[in-house]
Structure 1
Amino acid sequence: MPSAKFTVEGMTCASCVGRVERALKAAPGVRDAQANLMAGTASVDYDAPADPQALADTLRRSGYPPVETEIQLDVTGMTCASCVGRVERALKAAPGVVSAEANLATNSARARVLSGLTDADTLAARVTQAGYEAHPHHEATTQTHDHHSGDSAELARRVAISGALTLPVVILAMGGHMVPAFHHWIAGSIGIQASWLIQFVLTALVLFGPGRIFLTHGLPALARGAPEMNSLVALGSLAAFAYSTVATFAPALLPADARDVYFEAAATIVTLILVGRLLEARAKGQAGEAIRRLVGLRPATARVERDGTVVETAVEDLVPGDIVHLAPGERVAVDGVVTEGQGWIDESMLTGEPDPVRKAEGAAVTGGTVNGAAALSYRVTATGADTVLARIIRLVEDAQGAKLPVQALVDRITFWFVPAVMALALLSFGLWLALGPDPRLTHALVAGISVLIIACPCAMGLATPVSILVGTGRGAEKGVLFRRGDALQRLSEVGIVAFDKTGTLTAGHPELTDIETAPGFEADQVLRLAAAAEARSEHPLARTIVAAAAERALSPATATGVEAKPGLGLAATVEGQAILIGNRRAMTQSGIETGDLAERAAALASEGKTPILIALDGRIAALLAVADPIKPGAPEAIAALHAAGLKTAMISGDTRATAEAVARRLGIDAVRAEVLPDGKVAALGELAQGKRVAFVGDGINDAPALAAADVGIAMGTGTDVAIESAEVVLMGGDPEAVPAAVALSRATMRNIRENLFWAFGYNVVLIPVAAGALYPLGGPLLSPMLAAGAMALSSVFVVTNALRLRRA
């Protein structure tokens, strides 16, 4: 009797246990069910019609959903879109698998599974049984991301051997067509039969040597009733070889006008497709260069304090709390906090921004960044998979392994593609044999083999994933991380980009922007006295004034008799002078004339700034203005979005006057002000008006809107909650990364459309040509060698076109 054990969410008491058991026992086919509160599990014995998926649905309906986890596998042997489909079907057929995706470009597969029902080794075995070697995926290392270079080396060796063996075959077979005297020389020296025997031996070495990878993968797949790309190559090359072998050793079995050999076709097919595989492997290696560069940022060793001395140790041996010594120009090993020294660190690998960042005691440093000219020490705070660099690598890998919605059409077509090609090849062979001109058998053989060889499901399988691979890698280089691959497609479709204001378009902390004095007063002196009074206040604007005085290195003064005036300001005595700091109402109530500074204060308020009036000994002395400054690059970001044809909006909890002032300065199209955190989702709905909306934010209060938007874009300088709620993360705080992300997504989708157009167009046009559709119109009957060359170049074109995204 089959059984299943689920890990269940939400069980908190004995009543929950009872509900889970009753729900499961009521399901058709269930013999027994037991829930365990301490372990958080539910065990079920069942018969048909029950199955794990139906039982999982029962748990969900009961309010205690089963826990789902994701398993990733490394898969070798996938060569085309048909292989991808078969790997996915093998995974989906496994008990407990909710969904599965395979990726031809990254040679990987991932499955969403019900926790407790299966594991990575079991799924890997399933895929291996389907004909594709699979292993559980381990954390990124330089070695695991170097498989393309290994593939390239092995393929280069095969190409060299195959080419050396094929060249004499082509010369013997085709030399006489180009130079008639050569044919006569062969006939008069070694003889035509000896020439055929030499071609037979060399071609056999090609097929069963370098070309055996097509046979060992393609023929078993054919035997399982699951033909794929290798099956087409194996059938085409073996058909040409077998026909030629019969013509060589048993010519009486063939009509007199059909006694010819095609050894050069069989050998050349294998060689050209191996060349195509080599070019494709090298191009795919370049496509994954971004991940390898990220992995390569991890230093192998670090100098750490041990028992009072500094020793060099492997980075893997570091633990949180260790003190690491960082030499000038050295790469930071892991994440930490500076404990000694100050200097500048290049964080461009993290943010994409070239300017180094100053670090002093207490500042955070990130593994993989590069130290400047100063020696620093830092305390380790995170190692291994917990570091920022490791999380970035995981994000990029997850995005690169994802499927876009546009891939669904490709999957439906490729499921039937290879069987359809084999049927067309048989149909072509039959039609030529029945209706073609003499020699009919020869023409039928050429047409059938050409159809098998020219069809290219590889290009269709690579069209989408290789573009995602390069596009997301390019984004990572520029500090734009796509947490999910499908965000690439949806970001390219947005019509409106909405921004949070504070911390996204503005710096997120107020600064002193203006200081104007009345006649007879000096700005620095007034600011020094004001800072002395405000030092005793906890108001946010008070801290801004104190910080401004400190930045100007003004000598501190001492205030006495500090008195807060709620709603008005602050009064104190500083160095024997009575000082009043507040708004216009505070001055009016104290009988102080504000003069021209009152009008100037109103003008500053209309710009979204907060005016602060200062009086000394009953006379107006100065006007200060405090504002949250607009981030450098914000105006350019809005202009770039407008140039891209997008509308912009701002959603802020600030007062309408402040929000509209910022929007005017930036040229933003629509403003929603005085919006509470839980109202941002509704504001997004109002702005959408049937269009897709992207929301850009950085704070905890932005998390609901980031999750609700069609695409959530989080500033990497923001909170972890915001980043986890978003689908796109901008590692720096530069707003200009937003239009860059949009441009990259559009370029990637354009690249995918180009690849799909080529992949489908190539097959739609050239398969009929290979079948001989042009022959009745006076056109050529395509040579199998030309068909092999075209097929090899088709997938190379797709990958090479995707590589253009590295310059996006």
Structure 2
Amino acid sequence: MEHTYKIEGMSCNGCRSKVEEALNSIKGASAKVSLEPPVATINMAKHIALEELQKVLSSAGDYHIKVLDKNDQKNHHQYITGEKLFTKNKAVGKDRNGAFYCPMHCEGDKTYDASGNCPVCGMDLVQAPSLKKEASYTCPMHPQIIRNEPGACPICGMDLAPMEPDLDEEDKTYVNLLKKLKIASAFTIPIFLIAMSEMIPNNPIYKLMDLKYWNWVQLALSIPVVFYATWMFFERAWRSIISWKLNMFTLIGIGAGVAWLFSLVALLFSDVFPDQFKTHSGTVYVYFEAATVILTLVLLGQALEARAHGQTNSAIKELLKLAPNNATKIVGEKELLVSIDDIQKGDLLRVKPGEKVPVDGSIKVGEITIDESMISGEPIPVDKRPGDKVSSGTINGNKTFTMLAEKVGSETLLSQIIEMVNSASRSKATIQKLADKISRYFVPIVVLIAIITYIVWAIYGPEPAYVYAFVNAIAVLIIACPCALGLATPMSVMVGVGKGAKLGVLIKNAESLEKMNTIDVMVIDKTGTVTEGKPSVEKIVSTNPDFTENDVLQRIISLNSSSEHPLAQATLRYGKENNVEIKPISKFEAITGKGVIGMLEGKKLALGNNKLMEQVKAKVSSELNEQVKTEQKQGKTVSYFAVENTAVGFVVISDMIKESSKDAIRKLQKEGLKVMMFTGDNEDTARAVSEALNLDGYKAQMLPENKLDEIKRLQGEGKKVAMAGDGINDAPALSQADIGIAMGTGTDVAIESAAITLVKGDLNGIAKARQLSHKVMRNIKENLFFALGYNVLGIPIAAGVLYPLFGILLSPMIAALAMSFSSVSVILNSLRLRSAKL
């Protein structure tokens, strides 16, 4: 039995995971939990009382489980059937001027309003690129002039200057770290030189001062490094210990802190140490150079990571640059230059040659060419005429046109693309669960290994045994930093999602990107997916002497005037071209998957497929039926038209197969996918299209529920199914499929229900998404191999396993250098995806 409950108290993906894990721990229960809407669907072998479910949830945190009320049930029904569900958007960067998140996604998609450190792992929070641009340029002579882009002052002509430094939070973090790195380096290098001078025969610096005084100099030089430049590492380490959320800074803080404190005590109380810890001159070995070099190298790694994070977000930043700042608004006889934020729906705008289209809308006057490559990935400019749609961020050709603003602000296609990329970049892939699980136990195990290393060296090591034990234990703590392991997955996902966006493939979350790699069956819709989605009326046929073709046409146009279906719109365009008068229709009703019915002048009209004819019990003559079949065998769509209970004619509508469809399907089949077509069209038309495209199979006359059931059947056979569609009737199937793929040219409902959206509406995008999935998953595995392999090899070497055979020991300083660059290597490997060919 299956029950659905409402869950209260979840605020992020981390909460969702906790709740799901807790519910799945109940014997005989299998639970799936979603954050939006906050519900848990539980399959039970036998009924489990609500009190028992609540008891388990209470042990996981402050979560509450409740039975769905009527409103919850309605919302949940909308969610699972693919209807558009309006909920509060928690996505990063939505309706806020900047948001901050942990690059390791320790708390799922949780974000913060200010910069700082992640409370779980201690990493610097990263800023999501903001969707809103703020005015930030002013005239030095006329401060009342404020613009949101550089230029000349309209009063005096001087260049406008930034009101504040043009840095986003990532740049500010990098600049701050770079400043501290310079300070740390300035003090660390002298300490290092003093310590290393011992290797010089007849050390010349000892002629200036004795060793014990040079140790005091090292102490003095180390104070700015420890207590200013790198003090944040010790704060993070302490916070991780008291909260018991152990992380990379736990190891760094313990390792470097112990080395520095040991050296301080050795300097102040040298008499308490045994001879093993003393040099030939009687001073105790100090490790100021080890502590400061380790901390400085970690600081270097943090600065390089901050720099690299800016590159991983480059795709979103490039998209943000597409959004224009100003637009020319037509008010009466005047043209006004206004901010993009001041444009309202219904405004009339003028777009001049070479300018970017400011918002989404339709052309009112002008025949132009638009460069849509920055959004669709298609390099060939597109011709546009009055009535055609244009999108924000696309570039006008060499002619001026006027347009009507229809979607503004966050409603524009460009804003939705940026938001989807932003959200997906910070989502968590399933494969990351492995890294999270390892990281959870990693730090305590490393500390234990460090303790064992100290004990073994203290008992069995050569003289001075305690010194060897101390140094090697610190090396183990430093080299085992799990930072690279945590970055392995999110870095690849962030770059991969950005790469897809540049190619017009929008990925809703990391899980979708991962699942695309496992798909067995690709199910596609026909109209608008395989075909152009721009149907046109080929001809109107009357088979009844009481009705001329013009009579049939007028009734079809009148009936379709109340319908929004693409086929209906095609007939309306045909009617307009032929100056057909539209008459009022009463009792209009659209029957999903079948057609439309209504009353005109007291007579019942019906327009649709043979299923509709059966429903309204209309008689279809054999002659009419034969003519219809002849058209359908040529791959055309035919709708019967009936008056009262008799079919009196039909309309033939053709929709050209996209030129790219055949090539895209061949690519998918070459990768081992079985490609099938599910369509609501008739058997003959479906067969003709299937044969033309060499599909692996098809199913015709499919209602929305039929598509949904068929996908469930395929999944029941163990198949991983992807579904591509563009209409409202595809939404339930898109939601049910393992991967739903929506055509960007389709309806909002289809896009809302899908995991991947193809901006261009081209099946080649599916092939690109598949290849991108391959490359991202391979990149993630490479990163995990680098991180895990590095630790597996590094820890034993740091512990000294090579010393008995080869006399090799790993200095803590070398361990720190290797640890810092392991993280950078993972990021650099992820950045390779930016140049991947798809």
TM-score range, shorter chain: 0.7 to 0.9
Where does 1:52-131 land on structure 2 (aligned, <5 Å)? 56-60=64-68, 71=90, 85=106, 88=107, 101-102=108-109, 109=110
Where does 1:734-753 land on structure 2 (aligned, <5 Å)? 734-753=762-781
Note the C-alpha offset of 1:56.
4.5
For residue 240 of structure 2, what is the aligned residue in structure 1? 221
CA distance in 1, matches of 2:339, 2:508: 30
Cα gap change, 1:304 to 1:64, in 2 (>3 Å): closer
> Does the 8 A contact of 2:99 with 2:130 survive in 1?
no
The counterpart of 1:161, out of the listed 161, 169, 183, is 183
For residue 171 of structure 1, what is the aligned residue in structure 2? 193
Note the C-alpha offset of 1:773.
2.5
CA distance in 2, matches of 1:125, 1:796: 21
* 1:585-624 deviation digits (Å, cap 9, x = unpaired): 68999xxxxxxxxxxx97x97553589xxxxxxxxxxxx9
For residue 644 of structure 1, what is the aligned residue in structure 2? 671
Cα gap change, 1:142 to 1:797, in 2 (>3 Å): farther
Q: Tell me the TM-score normalized by structure 1.
A: 0.73
CA distance in 1, matches of 2:365, 2:783: 53
CA distance in 1, matches of 2:632, 2:346: 49
Note the C-alpha offset of 1:187.
2.0
CA distance in 2, matches of 1:719, 1:362: 18
Cα gap change, 1:282 to 1:542, in 2 (>3 Å): closer
CA distance in 2, matches of 1:475, 1:315: 27
For residue 374 of structure 2, what is the aligned residue in structure 1? 349
For residue 287 of structure 1, what is the aligned residue in structure 2? 312
CA distance in 2, matches of 1:664, 1:66: 42
Q: Which amino acid aligns with 1:793?
A: F
For residue 250 of structure 1, what is the aligned residue in structure 2? 269
Where does 1:548-627 land on structure 2 (aligned, <5 Å)? 608=635, 627=654
Note the C-alpha offset of 1:292.
1.2
The counterpart of 1:364, out of the listed 389, 395, 400, is 389
For residue 174 of structure 2, what is the aligned residue in structure 1? 152
Note the C-alpha offset of 1:784.
0.2
Where does 1:178-577 land on structure 2 (aligned, <5 Å)? 180-181=200-201, 183-259=202-278, 260-306=285-331, 308-510=333-535, 538=556
Note the C-alpha offset of 1:226.
3.4
1:760 matched to 2:768: no
For residue 717 of structure 1, what is the aligned residue in structure 2? 745
Cα gap change, 1:544 to 1:324, in 2 (>3 Å): closer
Q: Which amino acid aligns with 2:65?
A: D
1:674 matched to 2:701: yes
Note the C-alpha offset of 1:471.
0.8
Q: Which amino acid aligns with 1:164?
A: A
Range with greater deviation from structure 2 (184-193 or 777-786): 184-193
Note the C-alpha offset of 1:481.
0.7
Q: Which amino acid aligns with 1:644?
A: E
The counterpart of 2:822, out of the listed 789, 794, 800, is 794
Q: Which amino acid aligns with 2:803?
A: Y
For these two proteins, the number of residue pairs brought into alignment is 666
Q: Which amino acid aligns with 2:277?
A: A
> Does the 8 A contact of 1:481 with 1:729 survive in 2?
yes
Q: Which amino acid aligns with 1:741?
A: A
> Does the 8 A contact of 2:682 with 2:700 survive in 1?
yes
Cα RMSD (Å): 4.3
CA distance in 1, matches of 2:100, 2:345: 37
Cα gap change, 1:232 to 1:72, in 2 (>3 Å): farther
Cα gap change, 1:210 to 1:125, in 2 (>3 Å): closer
> Does the 8 A contact of 2:327 with 2:340 survive in 1?
yes
Note the C-alpha offset of 1:318.
2.0
CA distance in 1, matches of 2:625, 2:718: 51
Note the C-alpha offset of 1:386.
2.1
Note the C-alpha offset of 1:366.
1.6
CA distance in 2, matches of 1:480, 1:422: 45
Note the C-alpha offset of 1:509.
4.1
Q: Which amino acid aligns with 1:148?
A: E
Q: Which amino acid aligns with 1:708?
A: Q
Range with greater deviation from structure 2 (669-678 or 125-134): 125-134
Cα gap change, 1:206 to 1:447, in 2 (>3 Å): same
For residue 152 of structure 2, what is the aligned residue in structure 1? none
> Does the 8 A contact of 2:101 with 2:126 survive in 1?
no
CA distance in 1, matches of 2:118, 2:792: 31
State the secondary structure of the residue aligned to 1:209.
helix
Q: Tell me the TM-score normalized by structure 2.
A: 0.71
* Higher Cα Rg, which structure: 1
CA distance in 2, matches of 1:63, 1:318: 36
Note the C-alpha offset of 1:647.
1.6
State the secondary structure of the residue aligned to 1:734.
coil
* 1:527-548 deviation digits (Å, cap 9, x = unpaired): xxx9999987959999999999
Cα gap change, 1:544 to 1:276, in 2 (>3 Å): closer
* 1:331-375 deviation digits (Å, cap 9, x = unpaired): 122222222323112122221112222233222222222111111
Q: Which amino acid aligns with 2:227?
A: F
> Does the 8 A contact of 1:694 with 1:710 survive in 2?
yes
CA distance in 1, matches of 2:70, 2:704: 32
State the secondary structure of the residue aligned to 2:527.
coil
Range with greater deviation from structure 2 (647-656 or 541-550): 541-550
Cα gap change, 1:660 to 1:535, in 2 (>3 Å): closer
CA distance in 2, matches of 1:145, 1:496: 47
Note the C-alpha offset of 1:50.
11
Note the C-alpha offset of 1:76.
6.5
CA distance in 2, matches of 1:184, 1:282: 40
Note the C-alpha offset of 1:239.
1.9
Cα gap change, 1:637 to 1:131, in 2 (>3 Å): closer
> Does the 8 A contact of 2:425 with 2:490 survive in 1?
yes
The counterpart of 1:684, out of the listed 702, 711, 722, is 711
State the secondary structure of the residue aligned to 1:608.
coil
Q: Which amino acid aligns with 1:671?
A: Y
For residue 804 of structure 1, what is the aligned residue in structure 2? 832
Note the C-alpha offset of 1:321.
2.3
> Does the 8 A contact of 1:75 with 1:133 survive in 2?
no
Q: Which amino acid aligns with 1:57?
A: I
Q: Which amino acid aligns with 2:703?
A: L
Q: Which amino acid aligns with 1:364?
A: K
> Does the 8 A contact of 2:472 with 2:799 survive in 1?
yes
> Does the 8 A contact of 2:122 with 2:247 survive in 1?
no
5+ unaligned residues in a row in structure 2: which ranges?
Answer: 1-6, 10-53, 76-86, 93-97, 135-165, 279-284, 540-547, 561-566, 580-605, 608-620, 639-650
Note the C-alpha offset of 1:680.
1.0
State the secondary structure of the residue aligned to 1:464.
helix
> Does the 8 A contact of 1:145 with 1:291 survive in 2?
no
Cα gap change, 1:767 to 1:656, in 2 (>3 Å): same
* 1:367-386 deviation digits (Å, cap 9, x = unpaired): 22211111122222222222
Q: Which amino acid aligns with 2:693?
A: L
> Does the 8 A contact of 1:456 with 1:795 survive in 2?
no
Note the C-alpha offset of 1:759.
1.7
